[in-house]
Chain A
Amino acid sequence: MALRSDPTVLEAMADDLDAGYGAFVRAHSGAVYSTALRLSGSRAEADDLAQETFIRAYRALRRFDTDQVHALESRPWLLTITLNLWRNHLRRAARRPRPAGPGLLDAADRRRGPEAAAETTDESRFLVALLLELPEHHRVPVVLRHVAGLSYAEIASTLDCPVGTAKANVSRGLERLRALASRSTPVLHGQEAR
């Protein structure tokens, strides 16, 4: 999960932003897209959020000098952009009524593809649904830690909080998820729970 090649990617980008940006996008597209997908629950929204993240990032990077690019904490910086975009998106969505509930059950999301295969197991579908039940202040740290694979220091940087707080929020989020799991299991499998 750790991106050891990051210094090389940043080096190339500091050298020539336009030439090096493709490698930067490639290096972080998985973490950014996965975060957007597990926060929003919709592939279409995740694609929009992740693309927009890299568009905004590029525009910001154009104003960076070489030292700033070298000092960049890529993942916290990118995911801060993703989180802001997602929160803005939720705020806008809240202002107008949505025809469907959360994007979880989007018909388009059921299309087949290599990523869809990740959710073919009952276990994954179950977890995806549970995550979306978590309140935002728990869902975000859990997704950053366990889906995007960020270190606690990176999460602290992303959420602009002390490392201790980041750890505590991830741990509380996971506890909450477990509580939801034990509550949900009998609901989903009534006869087995009897």
Chain B
Amino acid sequence: MTTNASHPMPTATALRRLRVEAPEGFVDAVLDRLGLHEGDRLVTVPSAAGDLFVAFNDGGISAVMPAALFDDDAAEFALHHRRETGRPIVGGTARPPAGLLAALRSGRATNLRYDLSGLTPFERAVLTKTLEIPSGEVRPYGWVAREIGRPRAVRAVGSALGRNPVPVLIPCHRVVRSDGQIGNYGLGVAMKRTLLSAEGVDIDRLERLADAGVRFVASDTTHVYCVPSCVHARRIRPAHEVHFRTAAAASAAGYRPCSHCTPAEVRDAS
């Protein structure tokens, strides 16, 4: 029986070479179909801060980053995400989690689910409280500290906000210095101003008041005092607007704190 060199008899060795690996992405495809993601999914969504990479898993949204920081390269973000969380980005193009796009349009992200599992209870408390600050308003670091029952932990609040894994959505850009100045931001002060302006915050006005040492704005008709960015403070007509440097001075003058912005004396970080 003649056979030639290129077509030898079928041997066990030759057959073994017909064994192949499953195609690229096979495991992910199976896990996707079963809803068992070993990592986070990724979507790119538009926002006032430009396109955002948003990572999420079954527990909720786990990371938010401006795409521009990674030259719009999702693979670069995936490397960063793996370093930060230990989880890979898996799956193909994902649909945004329910409510994400609406939250980015409205600035109200309180109904989204967040995966804050890598954070300490203190950090989670800070971020949960920060989530309550309405779009278009700001609160001092000391306000967050006081609200979570840790009035002396002003610096720690600043650090916790600096580690916010889901900026823009959990609005750490709405937390400002206790003297009313805009203060720092993890993604840069320019980004903080962009985000606040996009929400309708009058930054020039806030800075003018801060420069003048004004921390509270009140109405002499209602006798209610507010933080300057409070939605109620912005409705006071100039003829009736009264300024205070301290909550004590406002109280002494017979004014009561606004129930919306809950102003009060707060500690400075320094």
Contact = CB atoms under 8 A, between A and B. Distances in A.
A14 interface: no
B10 A127 contact: yes
A174 B30 contact: no
Interface in B201-229: none
A142 interface: yes
Contacts of A29: 21-22, 26-27, 30
B30 A146 contact: no
B34 A21 contact: yes
A178 to B, nearest CB: 5
B4 interface: yes
B22 A114 contact: no
A185 B2 contact: yes
B8 interface: yes
B3 interface: yes
B4 A185 contact: yes
A113 interface: yes
B88 to A, nearest CB: 11
Nearest to B32: A51
Contact of B15 (A18, A54, A146): A146
A193 interface: yes
Contacts of B27: 22, 25-26, 29
B10 A130 contact: yes
A147 B7 contact: no
Interface string A39-64: 00001000100110011001000000
A42 B33 CA distance: 22
A185 B4 CA distance: 8
B23 interface: yes
A122 B7 contact: yes
Contacts of B38: 22
The SS class assigned to the A binding surface is helix
A29 B23 CA distance: 9
Given A142-B15, A149-B16, A189-B7, A22 B24 contact: no
Contacts of A178: 9-10
Contacts of A147: 15-16, 18-19
A33 B18 contact: no
B15 A25 contact: no
A188 B2 CA distance: 13
B21 A181 contact: no
Contact of A118 (B2, B6, B20, B34): B20
A22 B31 contact: yes
B36 interface: yes
A185 B2 CA distance: 8
B7 A181 contact: yes
A34 B20 contact: yes
A51 B18 contact: no
B253 interface: no
B36 A22 contact: yes
A37 B15 CA distance: 13
B14 interface: yes
Contacts of B20: 30, 33-34, 37, 115, 118
Contacts of A33: 20-23, 26
A55 B4 contact: no
A182 interface: yes
5 contacts: A29-B21, A30-B22, A32-B22, A126-B6, A177-B10
The 3 A-B pairs of least Cβ separation, nearest first, read A146-B15, A29-B22, A33-B22
Given A47-B26, A115-B20, 11 more contacts: A29-B21, A113-B23, A113-B24, A123-B8, A124-B14, A126-B6, A126-B7, A142-B15, A147-B18, A182-B9, A185-B2
Interface of B: 1-4, 6-10, 12, 14-24, 26-27, 29-31, 33-34, 36, 38
